[in-house]
């Protein structure tokens, strides 16, 4: 059986690099991109700022305490999307099969290319072509699977050029800290630390059944990753145009309160899908269909986001403008379009630490138990006491599940 050859490419400090192509004055200085207010969050930072301990998702006030001389800019998601598209086009023109994992991250399946020329040499040539045509630095690693290539890219950034030869996966992963492995977040790492498990080599010694007991089905994945096993395919890239949902009622209704509750549930659904796919939207549309089958819709362009709160506010405003006939309604729908890839859970530049903690906690519950298991109390026909209990529950989640 032919060994797979999977290349992982990751643009170095992508947002920062784009800003530096726009202004040479930013080169070489500590640079932070994110919300400018004290309660804002770091979306990205330069390597110069990282030396002071600054990192993404850090509260802006703390970042400025660590690196008071850093320059802070709000960021330009449209420019980031354009540069991402440029790099995507370069890879698309050369790669036999590739997957765009996020706005700045790509996988290439180069299996079989060694029959014609060296795969690693080809990968380096592609890396140089991207750097020449986009003016952006990019790291690259090659191995037999996506997992090992991704970890190697991160380990040797910036300007990484690394090959983990077939059979050497365990030797490479063994000395690394467990939080270097994708899917090992703060909670999982803390749990393992408490048991004295700090390196991947030690994690490999854990019986698979124990990990399954501790982490459920994720325990199998964790065991496989510790052993350098990853059979996931490179999924051919195709740009999704929109995310949408709609509901047709069994009986036409004029109950505005009910209609708005349904729209809230729809927003929670599509916004969660957006974050699961690591995407952001800048165009929101609402559609209604009356009992006589007349269909009307309105849309609006906004700054890129995947925040429930932001999308919901816009959806409610559009519905209020749209529903003016006071006729029975048989269908309502919500569509998010102008999608771009983005790694951040919610709005890149405007949300607070509290917002991020809450959304991450809610997404954690939805991902583990299903999107329908955690919904806003206003979407339920419940009394005030139950709504208060739901809000208290959300508060406990944001405090206890997110470190």
Whole-angstrom distance between the N-terminal and C-terminal Cα of the chain?
44
pLDDT digit string, tens, across residues 232-282: 999 887 777 899 999 999 899 999 999 999 999 999 999 988 888 878 888
The hierarchical CATH code for the domain 1-167 is 3.30.70.270
Same fold for the pair 1-167 and 178-230: no
Cα dihedral: 78, 276, 74, 284 (round 10): 60
The answer to whether the beta carbons of residues 134 and 83 sit under 8 Å apart is yes
Q: Which residues contact 122 (CB under 8 A, 6 or more apart)?
A: 110, 113
pLDDT of residue 393: 41
pLDDT value for 368: 55
CA distance 385 to 1: 62
pLDDT of residue 267: 93
For 375-395, write each residue's pLDDT tens digit. Answer: 555 544 433 433 443 444 444
Question: Which residues partner with 108 through β-bridges?
Answer: 7, 98
The token pair that represents 351 in the structure block: 């949300």
Residue 139, token pair as written in the block: 């790291």
Q: Can 105 be counted among the known catalytic residues? A: yes
| CB-neighbour burial class of residue 321 (10 A; exposed 0-12, middle 13-18, buried 19+) | exposed
Contacts of 291 (CB under 8 A, 6+ apart): 252, 327, 328, 329, 330
Alpha helices in 9-58 (DSSP H): 14-22, 47-50
Distance CA 106, CA 252 (A): 47
Tokens linked to 216: 């459920």
Question: How many other C-beta atoms lie within 10 A of the C-beta of residue 403?
Answer: 9
* Distance in angstroms (rounded) separating the CA atoms of residues 175 and 377: 47
Cross-strand bridge partners of residue 72:
32
d(CA 134, CA 138): 10
Q: Residue 399 has what pLDDT?
A: 41
Of 19, 48, 105, 169, catalytic: 105
**What is residue 385's predicted lDDT score, i.e. its pLDDT?**
37
Q: Which class would CATH give 178-230?
A: mainly alpha
- Paired strand residues for 299: 285
Per-residue model confidence (pLDDT) at position 185: 83
**Global pTM value:** 0.71
What is the homologous superfamily of the domain 242-398 according to CATH?
A: DNA polymerase, Y-family, little finger domain (3.30.1490.100)
pLDDT beneath 50, residues of the chain: 343-347, 379-403
Domain locations in the chain? 1-167, 178-230, 242-398
């Amino acid at each position: 059986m032919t060994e797979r050859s999977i290349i992982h490419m990751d643009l170095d400090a992508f947002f920062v690099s784009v800003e530096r192509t726009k202004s040479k004055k930013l080169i070489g200085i500590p640079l932070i991109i994110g919300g400018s207010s004290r309660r804002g969050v770091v979306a990205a930072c330069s390597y110069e700022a990282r030396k002071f301990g600054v990192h993404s998702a850090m509260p802006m006030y703390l970042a400025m305490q660590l690196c008071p001389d850093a320059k802070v800019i709000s960021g330009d998601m449209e420019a980031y999307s354009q540069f991402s598209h440029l790099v995507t086009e370069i890879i698309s023109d050369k790669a036999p099969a590739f997957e765009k994992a996020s706005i700045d991250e790509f996988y290439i399946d180069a299996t079989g290319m060694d029959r014609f020329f060296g795969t690693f040499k080809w990968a380096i040539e592609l890396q140089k072509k991207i750097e020449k045509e986009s003016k952006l630095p990019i790291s690259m690693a090659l191995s037999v699977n996506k997992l090992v290539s991704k970890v190697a890219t991160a380990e040797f950034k910036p300007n990484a050029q690394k090959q983990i030869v077939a059979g050497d996966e365990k030797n490479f992963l063994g000395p690394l800290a467990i939080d270097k492995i994708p899917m090992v977040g703060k909670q999982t790492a803390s749990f393992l630390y408490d048991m004295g498990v700090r390196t991947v080599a030690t994690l490999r010694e854990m019986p698979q059944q124990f990990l399954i007991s501790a982490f459920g089905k994720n325990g199998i994945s964790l065991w496989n990753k510790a052993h350098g096993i990853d059979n996931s395919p490179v999924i051919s890239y195709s740009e999704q145009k929109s995310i949408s949902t709609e509901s047709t009622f069994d009986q036409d209704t004029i109950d505005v309160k009910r209609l708005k509750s349904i729209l809230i549930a729809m927003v929670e659904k599509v916004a969660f899908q957006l974050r699961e796919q690591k995407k952001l939207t800048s165009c929101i549309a609402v559609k209604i269909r009356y009992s006589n089958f007349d269909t009307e819709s309105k849309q609006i362009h906004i700054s890129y986001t995947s925040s429930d709160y932001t999308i919901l506010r816009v959806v409610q405003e559009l519905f209020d403008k749209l529903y003016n006939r006071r006729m029975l309604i048989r269908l309502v729908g919500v569509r998010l379009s102008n999608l771009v890839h983005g790694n951040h859970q919610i709005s890149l530049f405007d949300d607070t630490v509290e917002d991020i903690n809450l959304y991450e906690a809610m997404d954690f519950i939805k991902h583990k138990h299903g999107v329908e298991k955690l919904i806003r109390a206003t979407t339920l026909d419940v009394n005030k006491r139950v709504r208060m209990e739901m809000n208290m529950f959300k508060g406990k989640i944001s405090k206890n599940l997110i470190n």
